[in-house]
């Protein structure tokens, strides 16, 4: 025989509530037909935490007697009250030891003598695990201040939540999402937590995960069936503000139909948010997914206004590559992106050149306004800045035959052989437009006459140029005139 009594449970669960007594009941049955059994009950590893009761009578010592074939209920009681569950590592265990008692009687000293000397007369009938369960235990386990080893938390958590209601599970789920543990989030959802729940303010679990930047939790919520509310959820806005492109990409892929041009309460899109924060990678992502750089918010601000107002040069440059009109758009109070940059003290020459000075310099070069060109260059306009076709001011001055402008630009460092989007240099523009003097001046200042061969020299005005040594490899394309 390897045991004298039988325990009717495989584990004991105590539902813990802060500052309250909790207990668990079990039953012991004597398996002996003719002999009483002495029973010793001990909780390890912290015996002082627990006490025992038999048939609702408090045991003043952890010993009892079971007559032959009798059965009796016992209670395990938490004797020390606390605000937190007294979890330990390893977990608590109820140890049931027994010994045959031929006389059927024993006093406390007899019990001590029997069980203080381990030997063949003492049977170890059972070691029953003790678990604290309920929402308070689960909440404590989800806290970073728990005293339990990390490897045991998942197991203890699964036990604790087994006695939670759906409402309690959902509350715990919100806490776990905030902490950013994807394993716990998955466990709580599998146990019955509502992945689509919202708090009293309408905030969803997904919004909480996104705003906390927990991408692994976001992925768990996505695969667990989160349903987006397009009228309330603004996840792309939040991801853009956090500068987490992996988070935005996961949301875009996982939430079918999510609108990259959705607006928040002030009319701003994720493009606005990325631009205002200077998050160039996020901005590029939004634009690649169909983000509209021309949309204005409720105050008339386009994403370009946002980027310019905060001095984000790279974002300004990217937006200008995708936008034809926002450079000239005005806010409701009459501000352009350029004026907002100036008002906010962003005098970086690259920024001002992109927003206005480059345009002014191009226009001055076209009109041969030497004074205006000098003013623009003094303010920081880029002498080699390009327009939407890749033209520099030197391209434009050469095409228009503005010799004085060409001279000024070259004296300020204009590169003579830069090519536009079609592969044309300023020299090609001068030749094509028939401006012999400008072409010769460019060649005399290092312009390469062999960068681009022309099929013919078709303009009668170029007859004199045809005979010039520098014109041997040059020509102009018939019927093609630059604007």
- Note whether residue 139 is domain-resident: no
Place of tokens 């998955």: 186
- Which strand (E) or helix (H) includes residue 13? strand 12-15
Alpha-helical (H) ranges within 124-181 are 135-142, 150-161, 166-179
In this structure, the answer to whether residues 400 and 382 fall within a common structural domain is yes
Q: Which residues of 274-288 are buried (b: 16+ CB within 10 A; e: fewer)?
A: bbbbbbbebbbbbbe
Question: Could you tell me the pLDDT band of residue 467, with boundaries at 50, 70 and 90?
Answer: very low
Close Cβ partners of 314 (under 8 Å, ≥ 6 residues apart): 278, 280
In this structure, the answer to whether residues 128 and 24 fall within a common structural domain is yes
For residue 472, the model assigns a pLDDT of: 37
Place of tokens 């678990």: 131
Residue 362 pLDDT more than 90?
no
CATH number at residue 355: 1.25.40.20
Rounded Cα distance, 427 and 449, in Å: 8
- Note whether residue 144 is domain-resident: no
pTM for the structure as a whole: 0.66
For residue 382, the model assigns a pLDDT of: 79
In this structure, the answer to whether residues 355 and 424 fall within a common structural domain is yes
For residue 1, the model assigns a pLDDT of: 64
Strand order in the sheet with 71-78: 5-7, 23-30, 71-78, 50-54, 57-58
Instruction: Calculate Rg over the CA atoms of the chain.
Output: 41
Residues 446, 418 contacting (CB under 8 angstroms): no
Instruction: Decide: residue 134, CB within 10 A, 0-12 exposed, 13-18 middle, 19+ buried.
Output: buried
Residue 452 pLDDT more than 60?
no
Rounded Cα distance, 290 and 109, in Å: 85
Place of tokens 């309250």: 20
- Note whether residue 245 is domain-resident: no
Residue 456 pLDDT more than 50?
no
Number of structural domains (the chain) is 4
For residue 324, the model assigns a pLDDT of: 72
In this structure, the answer to whether residues 362 and 333 fall within a common structural domain is no
In this structure, the answer to whether residues 298 and 403 fall within a common structural domain is no
- Note whether residue 143 is domain-resident: no
Domain boundary among 346, 368, 398: 346
- Note whether residue 217 is domain-resident: yes
3-state class (DSSP) for residue 162: coil
* Range among 22-26, 454-458, 461-465 rated most confident: 22-26
Q: Apex CA 449: angle with CA 444 and CA 450, to 5°?
A: 155
Residues 354, 382 contacting (CB under 8 angstroms): no
Residues 394, 411 contacting (CB under 8 angstroms): no
For residue 469, the model assigns a pLDDT of: 43
In this structure, the answer to whether residues 33 and 78 fall within a common structural domain is yes
Cis, bond preceding 357 (omega within 30 deg of 0)? no
In this structure, the answer to whether residues 41 and 100 fall within a common structural domain is yes
CATH number at residue 87: 2.60.40.10
Residues 328, 312 contacting (CB under 8 angstroms): no
Token readout for 467 is 């005979």
Residue 147, Cβ neighbours under 10 Å: how many? 10
352-361: average pLDDT: 70
In this structure, the answer to whether residues 337 and 279 fall within a common structural domain is yes
Range of the domain at 79: 5-133
3-state class (DSSP) for residue 26: strand
């Amino acid at each position: 025989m390897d045991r004298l009594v039988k325990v009717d449970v495989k584990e004991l669960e105590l539902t813990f509530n802060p500052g309250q007594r909790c207990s668990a009941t079990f039953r012991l049955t004597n398996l002996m037909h003719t002999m009483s059994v002495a029973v010793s009950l001990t909780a390890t590893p912290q015996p002082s935490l627990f006490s025992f009761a038999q048939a609702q009578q408090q045991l003043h010592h952890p010993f009892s007697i079971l007559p032959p074939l009798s059965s009796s209920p016992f209670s395990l009681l938490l004797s020390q009250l606390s605000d937190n569950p007294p979890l330990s590592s390893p977990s608590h265990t109820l140890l049931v030891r027994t010994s045959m008692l031929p006389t059927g009687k024993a006093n406390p000293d007899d019990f001590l003598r029997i069980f203080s000397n381990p030997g063949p007369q003492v049977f170890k009938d059972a070691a029953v695990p003790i678990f604290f369960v309920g929402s308070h235990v689960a909440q404590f386990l989800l806290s970073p201040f728990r005293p339990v080893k990390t490897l045991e938390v998942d197991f203890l958590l699964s036990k604790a939540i087994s006695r939670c209601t759906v409402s309690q599970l959902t509350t715990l789920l919100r806490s776990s999402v905030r902490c950013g543990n994807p394993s716990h989030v998955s466990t709580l959802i599998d146990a019955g937590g509502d992945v689509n729940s919202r708090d009293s303010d309408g905030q969803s679990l997904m919004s909480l995960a996104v705003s906390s930047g927990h991408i692994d939790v976001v992925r768990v919520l996505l695969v667990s069936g989160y349903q987006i509310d397009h009228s309330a959820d603004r996840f792309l806005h939040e991801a853009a503000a956090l500068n987490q492109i992996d988070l935005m990409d996961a949301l875009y892929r996982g939430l079918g139909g999510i609108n990259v041009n959705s607006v928040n309460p002030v009319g701003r899109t994720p493009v606005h948010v990325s631009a205002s924060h200077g998050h160039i990678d996020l901005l590029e992502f939004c634009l690649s997914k169909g983000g509209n750089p021309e949309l204005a918010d409720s105050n008339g601000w386009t994403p370009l206004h946002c980027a310019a107002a905060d001095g984000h040069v790279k974002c300004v440059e990217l937006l200008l590559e995708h936008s034809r009109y926002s450079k000239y758009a005005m806010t409701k109070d009459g501000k352009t992106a350029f004026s907002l940059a100036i008002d906010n003290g962003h005098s970086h020459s690259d920024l001002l050149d992109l927003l206005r000075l480059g345009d002014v310099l191009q226009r001055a070069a076209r009109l041969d306004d030497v004074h205006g060109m000098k003013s623009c260059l003094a303010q920081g306009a880029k002498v080699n800045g390009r327009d939407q076709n890749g033209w520099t001011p030197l391209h434009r001055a050469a095409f228009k035959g503005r010799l004085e402008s060409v001279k000024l630009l070259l004296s300020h460092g204009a590169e003579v052989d830069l090519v536009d989007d079609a592969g044309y240099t300023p020299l090609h523009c001068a030749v094509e437009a028939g401006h012999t003097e400008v072409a010769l001046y460019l060649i005399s200042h290092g312009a390469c006459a062999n960068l681009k061969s022309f099929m013919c020299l078709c303009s009668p005005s170029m007859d004199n140029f045809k005979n010039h040594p520098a014109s041997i490899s040059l020509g102009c394309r018939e019927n093609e005139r630059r604007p």
